[in-house]
Chains A and B, each alone.
Chain A
Amino acid sequence: MPTNSTDTDESDRKVVPDYSHAQPSIVLEHVSKWFNKRTTHSFKEAVINWVRRQSVRSQQFQALNDVSFTIREGECVAVMGLNGSGKSTTLKLVSGVMLPDEGRVRTRGRVAGLIEVGAGFHPDLTGRENVFLNAAILGMSEKETKERFDQIVEFSEIGEFIDQAVKHYSSGMFMRLAFSVAIHVELDVLLVDEVLGVGDAPFRAKCNAKLMEMSARGVTMMIVSHSASQVRELCSRGIVIRKGKVVFDGHIDDALDALGGK
């Protein structure tokens, strides 16, 4: 697919490095995914629908249709599209939460994601206990967690509240701590899903800076976001998905045009 076009003003165009010789980190080959739309939820409903001659069997809904792309080491790619276009499904396939019905997904190195922010947090556990539990869930060892514990707490700006039960945290504090754990995991590929609305403006800026730093260190990133400015700041390439199909894959500026224009 074309990676340069003349749509945007050349002086305004983001300069992106060339990754075409780097090793692939995420490979999707002809991936399709269907979901079942169940029309009945119990035996009783099934009988009633059958009597009324309505459909009893579940219907299939195609969420992804022959999606193929390769993300190379060190690249930062935005996956964009409207709600329900299949972005999050794509991310879930890469993280392994869901399996493709057709095609293949392959990843290289340690994959972890900010999709999971706070998923493993238990309200009754203290901040400290939650940090250890979640770091382990995201694949860190006890030793790694101990080494990074102070950094995690410092980044989250939680301070002395770390030994309080998480249910007493404000929602901002909760998200900050969860985000901080996720971002301190040693990884090669980071998946980010819509979580960058975390906290207040200063903390958001700090998170973006941290993501930029990780990207500069060579961490491969796949970001799902609706925020054009943020995506443009972080990413070099954009993939636009519409109704489960990849409709554009190329330079981030062109991808944003493709998303907004057509």
Chain B
Amino acid sequence: MSVTTTILDKTAFDTPGQGRGLLDVFRHRYLLKLLIGKATSLRYRNSVLGWIWSYARPTVQFLMYWLVMGQLLGQHRTVLYFPIYLFSGLVVVNFFNEAIGNTTRSIVDNKALVRKIYLPRELFPIAALVSAFVNFLPQFAVLIIVCLFNGWIPTFEALGAFLAGIAVVAPFVLGLGLIFGALNVRFRDAQNVIEIIRTIATWMSPIMYTWQSVYKHSHGWHRILFDIYMSNPVTVGVELFHKAFWDPIVPPNEPQAQWPPHFGMYALAGVVGTILIIMLGQMVFRRLERTFAQDL
């Protein structure tokens, strides 16, 4: 039986298992919605206190940092409205840390599906990212309430800074999640690397201290280190959150609340870095995706 000669119309045929990466996810919006719904509804299933945990964990974490950094180490005296400064930065890093863990585990967690059905596999990291965002909302609600009590008034500027912060951090973490999620299939070492990245993310952003304390240590060529520090998309996100929630509360013309010098350049560098990471993530993911079903 001759095979090759019988094909009449090649355009009518699909090549199974060949997707268009992240773009394919848009065609599977309904499935994505269900996957996110599944993740959020399963999150606290079989737990008595349920969603209270989403408030309890960040509250305790906040109290600890506030007590140690603010009271014992004296940040309370150096940074105005330190609790709000701390909390508005902390939510960004908590979101980052949760999202990077979720996305890294997403492929392995869905191995039953990945091994048996072809779906655009990018669906899983994206669903993980969105469910991390959903889990970030309770913390965010607490932040808003605390800010309102301290005389914060929502403005378009604040809203813009908040959205810009999310718009930098979310794609950045997705790019990293694509890389580590794909690597995690064959090398579970990725999960340990993530722990290190989490620690770095928590301390290498101005959350418990201000950017000024980094700046004053950067003389001469060390200024480059400060440039790198500030160009970190997470730092950019944290600074944008400070601008949105902490800055309006601080008295005007307070030197502490100023943008870091050349913040526009750093933000641009952060955005470019994010775009590069997303592209690299998609490349690595597509490359490793070929063997997901074999390696799981």
Q: Answer yes or no: are A and B bound together in one complex.
A: yes
Query: What is the interface of chain A, defined by CB distance below 8 A to chain B?
Result: 1, 23-24, 27-29, 35-36, 68-70, 92-99, 104-108, 111, 113, 115-116, 119-120, 122, 124-125, 129, 132-133, 136-138, 141-142, 249
Candidates A29, A99, A124, A142; contact of B42 at CB < 8 Å: A124
Q: Are A98 and B30 in contact (CB under 8 A)?
A: no
Please, could you name 17 A-B residue pairs with CB atoms under 8 Å apart, sorted by A?
Answer: A69-B1, A93-B16, A93-B17, A94-B16, A96-B16, A96-B118, A97-B293, A105-B16, A106-B15, A108-B14, A113-B117, A116-B116, A116-B117, A120-B117, A122-B38, A136-B34, A249-B1
Interface window among B3-11, B198-206, B276-284? B3-11
B223 within 8 A of A: no
Query: Which residues, 1 to 53 on B, are CB-close (under 8 Å) to A?
Result: 1, 3-4, 6-8, 10, 12-18, 30-31, 34-35, 38, 41-42, 45-46
> Would you call the interface of chain A mostly helix, strand, loop, or mixed?
mixed
Question: Roughly how many angstroms separate A29 CA and B7 CA in the complex, as a whole number?
Answer: 11
5 interchain residue pairs of minimum CB distance: A96-B16, A96-B17, A96-B118, A106-B13, A119-B116
- The interface size of chain B toward A, counting residues with CB under 8 Å, comes to 34
Q: Are B42 and A107 in contact (CB under 8 A)?
A: no
- Produce 1/0 per residue, B104-141, CB < 8 A to A: 00000000111111110000000000000000000000
Known A-B contacts A36-B294, A122-B38; A97 and B117 likewise in contact (beta carbons under 8 Å): yes
Q: Are A136 and B15 in contact (CB under 8 A)?
A: no
Q: Are A108 and B119 in contact (CB under 8 A)?
A: no
Query: Which residues, 260 to 296 on B, are CB-close (under 8 Å) to A?
Result: 290, 293-294
Question: Roughly how many angstroms separate A41 CA and B45 CA in the complex, as a whole number?
Answer: 35
12 further interface pairs, Cβ-Cβ under 8 Å (given A95-B16, A120-B112, A133-B34): A24-B7, A36-B294, A95-B117, A95-B118, A97-B116, A98-B293, A99-B18, A106-B15, A108-B13, A125-B41, A133-B35, A141-B30
Q: Are B117 and A137 in contact (CB under 8 A)?
A: yes
Known A-B contacts A105-B15, A108-B14, A136-B30; A97 and B38 likewise in contact (beta carbons under 8 Å): no
Question: Roughly how many angstroms separate A221 CA and B294 CA in the complex, as a whole number?
Answer: 25
**Minimum C-beta distance from B67 to chain A (A):** 37
Known A-B contacts A122-B42, A124-B45, A249-B1; A97 and B115 likewise in contact (beta carbons under 8 Å): yes
Q: Are A99 and B290 in contact (CB under 8 A)?
A: yes
Known A-B contacts A98-B293, A136-B31; A27 and B13 likewise in contact (beta carbons under 8 Å): yes
Q: Are A137 and B16 in contact (CB under 8 A)?
A: no
Q: Are A132 and B6 in contact (CB under 8 A)?
A: no
Question: Roughly how many angstroms separate A138 CA and B290 CA in the complex, as a whole number?
Answer: 20
B1: A residues at CB distance < 8 A: 1, 69-70, 249
B10: A residues at CB distance < 8 A: 106
Q: Are B38 and A96 in contact (CB under 8 A)?
A: no
A36: B residues at CB distance < 8 A: 294
A24: B residues at CB distance < 8 A: 6-8
Name the residue in B7, B118, B293 with the highest tally of chain A Cβ atoms < 10 Å from its Cβ: B118
Question: Roughly how many angstroms separate A23 CA and B1 CA in the complex, as a whole number?
Answer: 15
Q: Are A138 and B16 in contact (CB under 8 A)?
A: no
Q: Are A119 and B113 in contact (CB under 8 A)?
A: yes
B15: A residues at CB distance < 8 A: 104-107
Candidates A1, A107, A119, A136; contact of B16 at CB < 8 Å: A107
